[in-house]
Chain A
Amino acid sequence: MKFGILVNEGPYTHEASDTAYQFVKAALAKGHEIYRVFFYHDGVNNGTRLTVPPQDERNVVKRWSDLAAQHKLDLVVCIAAAQRRGLMDAAEAKRNGKDADNIAPGFRISGLGQLIEAGIQADRLVVFGG
């Protein structure tokens, strides 16, 4: 079965991203397909490579990046929500005249249409929030 995932909260403050991650891992382990993980609202903050949590703590961002690399996951950060919250890839930084970008490996920035498309193409869409 194909799952679409929506993550509406950022790392650490809420458990939402942790629950979504564990759900995705379990779904993959059962042989399901993850069509896309879409990050919206403060969820876009899961995609910054500049987080440096204490070494004895889980690294929420890196965990998503590693899982994406391992399973070719499509991790999509909403562009409108990302722009409000200062999450950029190199192209966006250039386009907006910013001096840095911060998107983590495995994530890409795209529009809300990607969420709707995930709803259409996936067999189930599961929302994780605060």
Chain B
Amino acid sequence: MTQETQVRVSKKFLYVNRKAPYGTIYALESLEVVLIGAAFEQDVSLAFVGDGVYQLTKGQDTKGLEMKNFSPTFRALEDYDVTKLYVEKEALEARGLLEADLVVPVEVVSAQRMAEIMEAQDVILSF
């Protein structure tokens, strides 16, 4: 099937990130899905809920772990046209974090707004 005859289906994809980085691999492998998924030109949003907000904190230094620090990759998402990053307000506050502590510009949203965002999706990938 050629590119021209292919039917273009655009769906709303939401990636829900709820795990802190490094302790488990979910955060890193979730980001790998986002990067691959970007090539499919879907309507992509990322949600950071609970410990997921720890993926975005500044100052991560993984040298001592011999693991890759993947937090800078979030800054590259813009180049992939992935610009809708939503962070749960309550999760930030509960962890003593401010928007300024995060490596990328995000939209900090209430639980109610986040629930609305979830309701608007076609596909929710949760890790």
Q: Which of A13-21, A68-76, A111-119 forms contacts with chain B?
A: A111-119
Closest Cβ neighbor of A6 among chain B residues: B125
Q: Interface residues of B: mostly helix, strand, loop or mixed?
A: mixed
24 A-B pairs (CB sep. < 8 Å):
A6-B125, A8-B26, A40-B33, A41-B25, A41-B29, A41-B127, A80-B32, A112-B32, A112-B33, A112-B37, A115-B33, A115-B37, A116-B40, A119-B13, A119-B42, A119-B123, A120-B9, A120-B11, A120-B40, A120-B42, A121-B9, A125-B123, A125-B125, A127-B124
**Interface residue? B36 (CB, 8 A):** yes
Chain B residue numbers with a CB within 8 Å of A129 are 126-127
Give the contact-size bracket for chain B.
10 to 19
User: Which residues of A pack against B, CB within 8 Å?
Assistant: 6, 8, 40-41, 80-81, 111-113, 115-117, 119-121, 125, 127, 129
**CB-based nearest A residue for B8:** A120
B39 proximal to A (CB < 8 A): yes
